[in-house]
Amino acid sequence: MFKQLGVLGCGLMGGSFALALKRAGLVKKVVGYSKSPSTTERAKKLGVIDVAADSALQAVAGCDIVLMAVPVAASEAMFSAIRHLIEPGLLLMDVGSTKRDVVAAARRTLKERVDSFVPAHPVAGKELAGVGNADAALYSGCQVILTPLAQTPIELVQKATDVWSAIGAQVLRMTPENHDAAFAAVSHLPHLLAFAYVSAVTNQTAGRDFVGLAGPGFRDFTRIAASDPLVWRDVLLANRDEILRQSQRFRHALDAIEHVIRGGNAEALEDLVRKASDARAGWQMNAPKPASGR
Amino acid sequence: MFKQLGVLGCGLMGGSFALALKRAGLVKKVVGYSKSPSTTERAKKLGVIDVAADSALQAVAGCDIVLMAVPVAASEAMFSAIRHLIEPGLLLMDVGSTKRDVVAAARRTLKERVDSFVPAHPVAGKELAGVGNADAALYSGCQVILTPLAQTPIELVQKATDVWSAIGAQVLRMTPENHDAAFAAVSHLPHLLAFAYVSAVTNQTAGRDFVGLAGPGFRDFTRIAASDPLVWRDVLLANRDEILRQSQRFRHALDAIEHVIRGGNAEALEDLVRKASDARAGWQMNAPKPASGR
């Protein structure tokens, strides 16, 4: 399907994409670049990439597909570094958890070449970052949100859809604005809360003893708090307005539950807890959706 | 090891204890009682209990070990119902997530017979409640906190320790006060936050669309929000002072992170997120502890 894949940022996300495309027989050769040469070398030693490039531009030369897998705030500099080699027909994608800021950076930097960019957000990941944890199956069964620009050729958007589908993902299309509003609610806010919670618990005198007693509830609730600090610093800043809006909603809900707890109102408390419990029990990850997304 | 086990409350916790003791060959006969006769019948049909009792008192008659597995607010009524049959040598335990309130209820109700009661909190569970989800392996590898009373014979506390150890749990001893402070931080507050978060997300106009896009981070973060409403209503009320105190700490930590987000302070944000991320990444469930607990 593709001649050559360029991976910009050979971490968990970029490395897993390379492995998945190789396993599916979708690409012949993978060239990789990371800011740190030792990461690029490691990716090569692990067989995640075939060629280690010395620069982003070199990694893109000769490619018909490029995946940019860097923290979102690094997108603009990366677009600048590679824009001279972005030509019609090339499929350029990212994996960022925010889309408005990345699209704006692409427009500013790539100008008329922005047509080649199909913004993508694969809803996948694990807390063990780095190329050493790259996994050909990471995207299998996950959702990938594309937020294509109006001017992008429909064939290129279809090509992007096909490649994610071919490695097992379910592809949806949304606007960058809808994307960022939705993910502020279902992903960014939970990360913010998990970081705040872990800070609060561990920054108390008995915190160390306390967490030593924690069980599977704590384990799962805080799993996302171990996420990559650079990635999440950028996401929390890039989507701050939506995230702070969602956090405000959360604070109101917390106020409401605490109010009935403080008042000892068992009936009202049961009602609030039951509604949340029912809502969560009825949720299913990757439930079937209309093919076109929202 | 035991002649007859009485299970008061044939749900997930009580049923799993019965199955575990049977599998380990620790008990010959299990008598069960639940408030709802259909639950007791179901437990019998599933082979979780051998005999369905019509009353709590009947379930305790002839037993040398009794497990009370009811929501914590139901403890006092249950102690009252069975106290005439509590005799020296009988090992009576509960599984409540709070301990000060259950111990107080036991002292009030059982009076001098309270010596037979060894309060227990197995740090286990899953969100699928009910006897149909009972599992002989539920307690294997989990921690069980005992908060024994000063007057309880050391042999009885040892017997309690031995039975949990025999079904694969790691047993620790604490005071009820230390227990409730620790679990407010590492279990009760996360539940409160998860309930509030799920309420906030689902109670907005686009909430249904939003959660349809959610991935593995949301899944794990909200898993505990699907917990049993009756159990958690009682826990949140029983331990409210400690929980509200922990929630206050959480709010301060959330304020601090939001403050740097709002100010766009990337460096300070990275520092806060990194500290939380490192703390969580360095945590391990059931890490080895001194045998005597804290």
**Nearest CA to CA, how far is A123 from chain B (Å)?**
6
Range of the domain at B257: 179-281
Which of A139, A174, A209 represents a domain boundary (last residue)?
A: A174
C-alpha span between B123 and B97 (Å, rounded): 8
On whether residue B36 sits in a domain, the answer given is yes
DSSP-derived secondary structure for A15-75? HHHHHHHHHTT-EEEEEEE-SSHHHHHHHHHTTS-SEE-SSHHHHHTT-SEEEE-S-GGGH
Q: Tell which B residues from 71 to 130 touch A, by Cβ distance under 8 Å.
A: 73, 123-125, 127
Q: State the pLDDT at residue B289.
A: 63
Instruction: Identify whether residues A168 and A218 lie together within a single domain.
Output: no
Mutation site, B146, B187, B188, B199, interface A, largest A CB count within 10 A: B199
Residue A278 has phi, psi (to 5 degrees) of: -65, -40
Report pLDDT digits (tens) over B192-249. 999 999 999 999 999 999 999 999 999 999 999 999 999 999 999 999 999 999 999 9
Report pLDDT digits (tens) over B266-287.
999 999 999 999 999 999 988 7
Pairing of strands B120-123, B143-146: antiparallel
- Is residue A186 within 8 angstroms of chain B, CB to CB? yes
Residues A192 and A272 in one domain: yes
Can you give the CATH number for the domain in which A139 is found?
3.40.50.720
Give the distance between the most distant pair of CA atoms in chain B.
68
b/e burial code for range A259-291 (CB count within 10 A of at least 16 → b): ebbeeeebebbbebbbbbbebbeebebbeeeee
Sheet holding A51-52, edge to edge: A51-52, A27-33, A2-8, A65-68, A91-94, A117-118
Percent of chain A with pLDDT over 90: 94
- Beta-strand relationship, B51-52 and B143-146: unpaired
One domain for residues A101 and A187 = no
Q: Is A192 exposed, middle or buried (0-12, 13-18, 19+ CB in 10 A)?
A: buried
CA distance B141 to chain A (A): 10
CB contact under 8 A, A212 and B181: no
Count the domains in chain A. Answer: 2
Instruction: Say if B248 falls within a structural domain.
Output: yes
With contact defined as beta carbons under 8 Å apart, do B93 and B68 qualify? Answer: yes
Global confidence as pTM: 0.90
Whether A269 and B182 lie within 8 Å, measured CB to CB: no
As a whole number of Å, the CA-based R_g of chain A is 21
Same domain, yes or no, for B14 and B117?
yes
Q: Does B277 touch chain A (CB under 8 A)?
A: yes
Establish if A70 belongs to a structural domain.
yes
- B186 shares contact with chain A (CB less than 8 Å): yes
- Interface test with chain A among B127, B213, B248, by most A beta carbons within 10 Å: B213
Nearest C-alpha of chain B: how many angstroms from A29?
31
Q: Does A216 touch chain B (CB under 8 A)?
A: yes
Confidence of residue A292 (pLDDT cuts 50, 70, 90): very low
Model confidence pLDDT, tens digit, residues A106-132? 999 999 999 999 999 999 877 678 899
Q: Give the nearest chain A residue to B171 (CA atoms).
A: A213
Distance of CA A28 to the CA centre of its chain: 26
Tell me, what's the ipTM?
0.90
Asked if B289 has any chain A CB less than 8 Å from its own CB, the reply is: yes
pLDDT, one tens digit per residue, over B86-134 is 999 999 999 999 999 999 999 999 999 999 999 999 998 776 788 999 9
**Cβ proximity of A92 and A66 under 8 Å:** yes
C-alpha distance from A43 to closest chain B C-alpha (Å): 23
Q: Note the pLDDT tens digit of each residue in B152-179.
A: 999 999 999 999 999 999 999 999 999 9
Tokens of B228: 């049993």
Which pair of structure tokens corresponds to residue A218? Answer: 């704590």
